Structure 1
Amino acid sequence: MKYSIEEMKPSDWEQVKDIYLEGINTGIATFQSEAPAWNAWDRGHVDSCRLVARLDDKVLGWVALSPTSTRECYSGVVEVSIYVGEKYRGNAIGTNLLKRIVEQSEEKGIWTLYCAIIRENIKSIEMHKKCGFREIGIRERIAKMPNGMWHDVVLMERRSKVVGIG
């Protein structure tokens, strides 16, 4: 499958939101129970480092970064969100998006990418490991789904070998 990885545009939001909803519906991609409105999502994510995998006018997957703190000392530490459309999983789209966001984040001076993955989401954990992330801990029964089921999350990070090494 030949697709491109491009900057996410506000006009991509409906497709991005639909992919996010597919993730929500898996029950292992996020603790969120609904997708936010564009303005709320936009405010919660870093302005740069928002990418989509695109085939013609179709968004296949997306990745974006969120700040982990407002404190200046943590300005180079961000959380990664990545989702691939249900029909397109298993085609290395997530891996390619994640590799590109690593490159782009380093260009922007980011030294640590962080994620908290629901323990049952084995494919996401494996993908992150393939892209240089390491497991740094487990948070047991940290949050529960709307159905009342509690889940652990695997904390992972990727520390840049280029930025913030001095």
Structure 2
Amino acid sequence: MEFNTITDKNFSQAKEIYSQGLATNSATFQNDSPQWEEWDSSHLPFCRISIFQDGIMKGWTALTPVSGRCAYAGVAEVSIYIAEDQRGKGIGSILLKELISQSEKHGIWTLQSSIFSENLGSIKLHEMRIQACGIS
């Protein structure tokens, strides 16, 4: 497996994985997949991490800013999506570990995620590395 940056060249694979998440009705608060331009402008320019095996994207993670206020410059929201046929195989853990490492190098000191209570796989993944707070 190898890490790559998500770019306009491989975004179609990331979008397909995102669409698989949409189909679960418990992976995102969005209703449809964004086009590259929208996705690119809404995510931070660093920590756009995808993982590939044999030329196929298996999953990806990226960060969005939580706020435009400078006090929150070190806080980011985590997006992490795993291909349907790769879930439960440790891909998410590998991606999250790499995301934490890279985000710290870019001055991010707090990562947060909003997760549906039904999304047990995502909850389990995040519990491995991120402290839960504000559960409702």
- TM-score computed with the length of structure 2 as normaliser: 0.96
Cα deviation 1:30-75 (Å, max 9, x = unaligned): 1211101110111000001000010122111000000001111110
Partner of 1:124: 122
Which of the residues 56, 59, 69 maps onto 1:58?
56
Matches of 1:69 and 1:123, distance apart in 2 = 27
Match of 2:106 in 1: 108
- 1: CA distance, partners of 2:84 / 2:31: 17
Normalised by the size of structure 1, how large is the TM-score? 0.79
Specify the alignment match of 2:66 in structure 1: 68
Given the alignment, which residue of 128, 132, 136 partners 1:135? 132
2-side partners of 1:13 and 1:21: how far apart? 12
Equivalences for 1:78-89 in 2 at 5 Å? 78-89=76-87
CA-to-aligned-CA distance 1:112-149 (integer Å, 9 cap, x gap): 00100001111111111112x1111134xxxxxxxxxx
Tell me the secondary structure at the aligned position of residue 23 of structure 2: helix
Structure 1: gaps of 5 or more residues: 140-166
Superposition deviation, residue 6 in structure 1: 2.2
Look up the equivalent residue of 1:80 and give its one-letter code: V
Decide which structure has greater helix share: 2
Q: How many residues align?
A: 136
Unaligned runs of 5+ in 2: none
Name which one, 1 or 2, has greater alpha-carbon Rg: 1
**Counterpart Cα distance in 1 of 2:6 and 2:17:** 13
Partner of 1:36: 34
Identical aligned pairs, as a percentage?
42
Query: Could you say what secondary structure the match of 1:48 adopts?
Result: coil
RMSD: 0.9
Q: Which residue of 2 aligns with 1:27?
A: 25
